[in-house]
Chain A
Amino acid sequence: QVQLQQSGAELVKPGSSVKISCKASGYTFTSYDMHWIKQQPGNGLEWIGWIYPGNGNTKYNQKFNGKATLTADKSSSTAYMQLSSLTSEDSAVYFCARVRLGNFDYWGQGVMVTVSS
């Protein structure tokens, strides 16, 4: 069965960076786009960008250019998102999600990132 297992919660200091992971299993990792989505407490969903693990192509929401960097390791079927120059506005839950038939058919459990000194 398809599973997206994300890394654990992070408490990080302002100005630092964090890298979170999303390990895929149960399907061919290189055949599907992997997207990342942000959700601030009590708020809606915000699309960050996607990566196609097959060739490493990426596309970002302009708002996250320079903030988020998406990578993928085919050998471990793991997608990564690095967030840099963190501020309190980056405190949120971050989801990875696979796209199939034009919708996010599987989601990770989410990673809570808290930016605090």
Chain B
Amino acid sequence: QFVLTQPNSVSTNLGSTVKLSCKRSTGNIGSNYVNWYQQHEGRSPTTMIYRDDKRPDGVPDRFSGSIDRSSNSALLTINNVQTEDEADYFCQSYSSGIIFGGGTKRTV
């Protein structure tokens, strides 16, 4: 069973671009799909990216997902950061069960 490691927090400025990382401890990051969830305080998570790079209907195209094989990580990129993007972000994959990263708190 592998671990997904995310930075605890990241601070960005309005209008800037931020890349959130999710590093897989063992095995190939490309072996299993990675999903990304956004969670605002006191709310349920919502999907921002699924299957590595797919964006659900209604998610702004400022959000994109990718795989970086050189660092064995999944990346969530947020362009033109807005105040409403201030939230916690969790990556998730699966092995014999569902695995979540520890989450990154993003502050503007």
Contacts and interface: CB of A to CB of B under 8 A. Distances in A.
Contacts of B73: none
A111 to B, nearest CB: 11
B69 interface: no
Contacts of B46: 107
Nearest to B88: A44
For the residues of A in contact with B, the DSSP-based class is: strand
For the residues of B in contact with A, the DSSP-based class is: strand
A59 B103 CA distance: 24
Contact of A45 (B51, B94, B97, B103): B103
A102 B46 CA distance: 14
Which of under 10, 10 to 19, 20 to 34, or 35 or more describes the interface residues of A? 10 to 19
A32 interface: no
A109 interface: yes
Nearest to B37: A104
A97 B56 CA distance: 16
A95 interface: yes
Contact of A110 (B44, B92, B94): B44
Interface string B25-38: 00000000101010
Given A35-B98, A109-B44, A110-B44, A103 B35 contact: yes
Interface of B: 33, 35, 37, 44-47, 50-51, 54, 56, 90, 92, 94, 97-103
